[in-house]
Amino acid sequence: MDILDLLSVVLLIVGAAFFLAGTMGLLRFPDVYTRLHALAKADNLGLGFTVLGLALQAPGVAAGLKLVLVWLLALAASATLSYLIARRAFAKGIVPWKPEEREP
Amino acid sequence: MRSALNNAREYPVKPLIRRAVLFTALWWILAEGNFVAWGVGLVSIMLALATSLILLPPGPSRLSLTGLAGFLGYFLVQSLKGGVQVALMALRPRLDLRPAVVDIPLRLPEGRARVLLAITLNLLPGTLSAGLESRHLRMHVLDERSPVETEVRKTETHIARMLGLPLEAR
């Protein structure tokens, strides 16, 4: 196993960790808005690190760039979608979750 | 007189060439450097060029390359920060969320620059765009204690520099 393979493995594991964190956020966060934060931002890095890890194994420059292109398109899609979902949620009058006031 | 004529002739050609180069590069990437499919590629490049001219006619504002590099650098660092921050929040045993909704007045001119700002902010730390009003951007923030307005202003400045647009004073 050479150094490039090792680096790939590390990047893929980091990517998987971000996907896991994004999914944890989706399950644990209290409302649609906070969940969108978790999904868009964490999954962006999850896919980013996965793509980097795979690009190191790509057979050529063009194939590597193609993976980066996949990341950019997914990034644009998830950022646009979360804006559209949040806007729709506000238009429907879904009130953002607030923590309950605690005694100081 | 002569330079004005030259400018008039050059004006639509330069963006055309730039876009053609961009689409050719994209095709090269999609075909993974394979030259066998260039017949299809040529047609695709022409169609992409025509579509881009219809959807985004060359206007007075032009992309600045140094501005683009600045924006990309800022975006990469900040989105990394944003992802790490929200990942830690999701994994922490006790959730520590302090969400709030804020309206931020915009300085960018109307149009695609504002849309780009709204969408970019979704990947930056703690901000989620939820609506573009006439002059305001409505945002949901994960932590009301974070300096949201400063972040928006910085992003705004980068986008204005990249697209060669003026920022209105507020």
Residue B100 reports pLDDT greater than 70: yes
What is the number of domains present in chain A? Answer: 1
CB contact under 8 A, B140 and A33: yes
The sign of the torsion formed by the CA atoms of B32, B33, B35, B41 equals positive
Q: Are A75 and A46 in contact (CB under 8 A)?
A: no
The predicted model scores a pTM of 0.87
The sign of the torsion formed by the CA atoms of B84, B90, B91, B93 equals positive
Q: Does B56 touch chain A (CB under 8 A)?
A: no
Over residues B53-80, mean pLDDT: 90
In angstroms, rounded to a whole number, what is the distance separating the alpha carbons of residues A24 and B146?
23
- Band of residue B61 on the pLDDT scale cut at 50, 70, 90: low
Interface residue of A35, A37, A85 to substitute, partner B, most B CBs within 10 Å: A37
Over residues A4-15, mean pLDDT: 97
- The residue of chain A with its CA nearest to that of B118 is A83
In angstroms, rounded to a whole number, what is the distance separating the alpha carbons of residues A40 and A28?
15
What torsion do the CA atoms of B143, A74, A57, A21 make, to the nearest 10 degrees? Answer: 30
Domain that holds residue A47: 3-91
Give A18's contacts in chain B (Cβ within 8 Å). Answer: 83, 87
- The residue of chain A with its CA nearest to that of B101 is A96
Q: Does B120 touch chain A (CB under 8 A)?
A: yes
The per-residue pLDDT for range B144-158, each reduced to its tens digit, is 999 999 999 999 999
Global ipTM: 0.89
Residue B8 reports pLDDT greater than 60: no
Classify residue A104: in a domain, yes or no.
Answer: no
CB contact under 8 A, A42 and B87: yes
Please name every residue paired with B131 in a beta bridge, in sequence order, or none if there are none.
B138
Residue B3 reports pLDDT greater than 90: no
- Band of residue B135 on the pLDDT scale cut at 50, 70, 90: confident
Over residues B100-122, mean pLDDT: 93
Residue with tokens 């804006």: A83
Give B83's contacts in chain A (Cβ within 8 Å). Answer: 18, 41-42, 44-45
The per-residue pLDDT for range A50-95, each reduced to its tens digit, is 999 999 999 989 999 999 999 999 999 999 999 999 999 999 999 9
Nearest to A22 by CA among B88, B122, B142: B88
Residue with tokens 């609506």: B131
In angstroms, rounded to a whole number, what is the distance separating the alpha carbons of residues B152 and B121?
8
Percentage of residues in chain A with pLDDT exceeding 90? 89
In angstroms, rounded to a whole number, what is the distance separating the alpha carbons of residues B136 and B101?
12
| pLDDT of B140 | 95
CB contact under 8 A, A62 and B119: no
Q: Does B59 touch chain A (CB under 8 A)?
A: no
**Helix-strand-coil split of chain B, %, nearest 5:** 60, 10, 30
Classify residue A52: in a domain, yes or no.
Answer: yes
Domain extents in chain B: 2-55, 65-163
Percentage of residues in chain B with pLDDT exceeding 90? 65
Nearest to A53 by CA among A8, A15, A21: A8
Residue B170 reports pLDDT greater than 90: no
Residue B169 reports pLDDT greater than 60: yes
Average pLDDT over chain B reads 88
C-alpha dist (Å) from residue B86 to A52, B19, B45, B100: 21, 37, 39, 15
CB contact under 8 A, A83 and B28: no
In angstroms, rounded to a whole number, what is the distance separating the alpha carbons of residues B125 and B140?
11
The amino acid occupying position B90 is A
In angstroms, rounded to a whole number, what is the distance separating the alpha carbons of residues B142 and B86?
9
Over residues B27-54, mean pLDDT: 89
In angstroms, rounded to a whole number, what is the distance separating the alpha carbons of residues A73 and A65?
12
- The residue of chain A with its CA nearest to that of B80 is A45
